[in-house]
Amino acid sequence: MFLGKKRKDAAYTEGLRKLLEVKDSDIRMITFRQGASAIEKGIHMGGASSATIPLVALFYGGYMNYDVQDPTKAGQDYFVLSKGHAVAPMASVYADVGYFPASILENSRSHDSILNGHPGPILPGVAIATGPLGQGVAVAQGLAMAGKQGKEFDVFSITGDGELQEGVVWEAFMLAPQKRLDNLCVLIDKNEGQLDVYTKLHFSMDKLGDQLAAFGWKVVEVDATSYHGIMDALESFSHDSRDGRPTVIICNSYKGYGSFSEGMDKHKITLTADACEQEIALQKVRRAQRYASYVAYLEKLKAEGDLKSVKELEAKQKEMNIKEKCSDVLEQAFLRKGKVPVRNKAIKYDASKLPSYAMDAKVMGCDVITAAMKQFAKDQRVMSVDSDLASTSGLQGGVGAVDQSRAINAGIAEANMMCIGESFAALGSNAWVSTFCPFFDWKVLRRIAVSHQERVEAIEDPENWLNEGHGLDLTFLATAANLDTQVNGATHMGNDDNLFFSNIAGLKIIDVSCPNQLVEIMKWIMEGNKGLVYLRLMRAASGVLYESGKPFSYGKAWKLHGSDKAQVAIVSSGRGSHEALAAAKKLADKNIDVAVYDMPSFDADTMETLIKGDIPVVVAEQNNGYLWMEIGKMALNRALEVPKGRLVAVNTADKDGSYRFIHSATYEELTKHNALDADSLATLLEKLA
């Protein structure tokens, strides 16, 4: 099914309003049954009720183009439910229009169900996971940016006034007008309540319209207890001339609106069978009245001779699957079948034009990124987002040299930056976002990881909607890794980020040690289908460790120095590998054979071999011990016996192994203080050998 936009005349509009009111009753009944059959009989009823009118107007009013059979088809409009608590009415609508079988609405929230307490891509038709408040608006803004490129499309999002207490939503509200996203329409369910105090907000938002207008939004305030105002506002957005301003529709309502029974205004309720049946019985009476009003209106049009409007409304009624009598079972007129088409994610480029560096060169990582991106970005699926640190990442200089519209700078708004990157990745781009290592937002990164995991699950499930190539390809370029921020102080020092973010499910962590290695890592990422990559980049220039063209493989270490008869081994990554190699060369003059391993991503098999060997192994890291932690987990999982004293850690953690932050100092001071400089490492290795 594909709903097309068309301007509506007054007679048709009035009939459409009456049809939407009938469908409103149907969706509310479906939602109540959904809540009553949920595993815990629970539903976020207050916000679900007030969100129903905006949802029904959007999906049935003809203001949005969407393809139920292929929700990934280019050029269609997108919807993001930012207020994820309203997943129940959204799921009712999605089932009714045919994204998935009605049976999915049964036993929701259970382990066996793909209908969770908040929406995510495991549910057909849902582009991203939402729930952590405010982030959905930021993703919708990113989708709108993409909608300004190539095949143009509109983006709609429903948020709530409670969500507006989150910071990231205001990052998006500030940026969207600057980017002239007049293809973005945000509907605010202003229901004047939230979780702890469901009858009022924690602080007033009486001047919300003025605040958004001051940022550059086109603001429309409507009474959202009926369809008149929302229909007029959506009609205006869909058909009136646009002036660069995004549109916000403030939907004034209250929690629980549209329900009859007491207690339906609370954030979440347990829905008893009696309460459900009582509510549905009253909704049926209301529906019968609304349907009778619609039929009477058709008769009026016939009497007036407006047979054109009658014909159009009858066609619309059929499209909306509205019958005279409602059934206790959802009768779907259409049901999406099969998986969406496979998406080819491999980026096309001329490998001969990629940068390569001589073994005696010294190069900054950002310069490598810029030079390589000037080739990769010739494929329009490559894009980047910076947060006022483009000079550190090199992304904007590289991608922007090819196409400035795909080199976005979100300003000092890292959370918003990450959501924008996710938006483009969801549409099939190979997306890159960048900031200093400690500045990535944990809450946003975790939600993005949920989106990616649910996409992977949907791909792997033969009965679900997504196909190969529909995971997120999103690289988090973390600059100034390890000790590279030097004198900026503890808040800017990247010595704990890899440990912290390694607990994000599905995130691949890579620590770059060499300019040529970085080029190969980028080539590996451009193969596509690599998922979420956390790529740690040195800030200052570094020497070259690898010959150009040595392929990168995730989960593999490389031996940089030493023979098979080495007396001691050292494992490191990033700039630490340079210190380790320098230490090994110092000891070579003393006839001490040191095996040096560069481990940009954790290599469990190499570490197991070293642990089972008979020589001491030093794990030297310019951070709080990411590899050391991974070794511990691997050893326990593989039941390895580690001889006491033969595995030694040198890192920035305290002597007892507890993590700590690093204060301002030069690189030389920091490495020496933490015994991570070449001289200190050489002394330790000589002692162990």
The CA-atom distances, in angstroms, between 165 and each of 119, 476, 618 are 21, 27, 48
pLDDT tens-digit series, residues 179-193: 999 999 999 999 765
Ramachandran angles phi, psi of 209, nearest 5°: -60, -45
Tokens of 564: 């098979």
Share of the chain above pLDDT 90, in %: 84
Confidence at 196, pLDDT banded by 50, 70, 90: low
CATH 3.40.50.970 fits 10-319, yes or no: yes
Residue 549's pLDDT is 95
Q: What is the mean pLDDT of residues 619-647?
A: 95
Least confident of 34-48, 315-329, 399-413, 604-618: 34-48
Q: How far apart are CA 232 and CA 23, in angstroms?
A: 18
Q: What is the mean pLDDT of residues 27-48?
A: 88
HEC sequence for 396-450: HHHHHHHCHHHEEECCCCHHHHHHHHHHHHHCCCEEEEEEEHHHCCHHHHHHHHH
Residue 317's pLDDT is 97
Confidence at 6, pLDDT banded by 50, 70, 90: confident
Q: Is pTM, for the whole model, over 0.85?
A: yes
CA torsion angle 275 101 107 21 (round to 10): -20
Confidence at 3, pLDDT banded by 50, 70, 90: low
Most confident of 257-261, 647-651, 655-659: 647-651
pLDDT tens-digit series, residues 425-435: 999 999 999 99
* Residue 5, pLDDT above cutoff 90: no
Q: What is the CATH number of domain 558-688?
A: 3.40.50.920
Average pLDDT, the chain: 94
Q: What is the mean pLDDT of residues 263-277?
A: 78
Tokens of 187: 């509907």
- Cβ neighbours of 85 (radius 10 Å): 25
Least confident of 58-62, 276-280, 336-340: 276-280
Q: What is the mean pLDDT of residues 245-269?
A: 84
**Domain segments of the chain: what residues?**
10-319, 351-543, 558-688
Residue 467's pLDDT is 98
Q: What is the mean pLDDT of residues 620-624?
A: 97
CA 57 to chain centre: 26
Residue 44's pLDDT is 76
pLDDT tens-digit series, residues 538-591: 999 999 999 999 999 999 999 999 999 999 999 999 999 999 999 999 999 999
> Any idea which residue has 């110092």 for tokens?
586
411: buried, middle or exposed (CB in 10 Å: 19+, 13-18, 0-12)?
middle
* Residue 2, pLDDT above cutoff 60: no
C-beta of residue 19 within 8 angstroms of C-beta of residue 154: no
Query: Which residues are bridge partners to 477 per DSSP?
Result: 434, 535
Share of the chain above pLDDT 70, in %: 97
Confidence at 404, pLDDT banded by 50, 70, 90: very high
Residue 200's pLDDT is 58
* Residue 31, pLDDT above cutoff 80: yes
Q: What is the mean pLDDT of residues 408-415?
A: 96
* Residue 118, pLDDT above cutoff 90: yes
Angle, to 10 degrees, between the axis of helix 227-239 and the axis of helix 10-37? Answer: 110
Q: How far apart are CA 565 and CA 164, in angstroms?
A: 63
- Give the angle 178-230-104 at the CA atoms, nearest 5°: 95
- Give the angle 39-41-42 at the CA atoms, nearest 5°: 105
C-beta of residue 438 within 8 angstroms of C-beta of residue 108: no
Tokens of 153: 């499309």
* Residue 265, pLDDT above cutoff 80: no
Residue 199's pLDDT is 64
Q: How far apart are CA 465 and CA 631, in angstroms?
A: 38
* Residue 470, pLDDT above cutoff 60: yes
pLDDT tens-digit series, residues 45-97: 778 899 999 999 999 999 999 999 999 999 999 999 999 999 999 999 999 99
HEC sequence for 475-503: EEEEECEECCCHHHCHHHCECCHHHHHCC
Q: How far apart are CA 13 and CA 234, in angstroms?
A: 12
Residue 572's pLDDT is 98
C-beta of residue 429 within 8 angstroms of C-beta of residue 347: no
* Residue 202, pLDDT above cutoff 80: no
C-beta of residue 503 within 8 angstroms of C-beta of residue 558: no
Using alpha carbons, select from 76, 80, 35 the residue that is nearest to residue 54: 80
Query: Which residues are bridge partners to 597 per DSSP?
Result: 559, 571
Residue 290's pLDDT is 97
CA torsion angle 653 658 662 668 (round to 10): -10
Using alpha carbons, select from 525, 522, 511 the residue that is nearest to residue 481: 511
Residue 381's pLDDT is 98
Query: Which residues are bridge partners to 619 per DSSP?
Result: 571, 649
Q: How far apart are CA 306 and CA 293, in angstroms?
A: 17
**Hey, which CATH number is domain 351-543, 3.30.70.1140, 3.40.50.1370, 3.30.530.20, 3.40.50.970?**
3.40.50.970
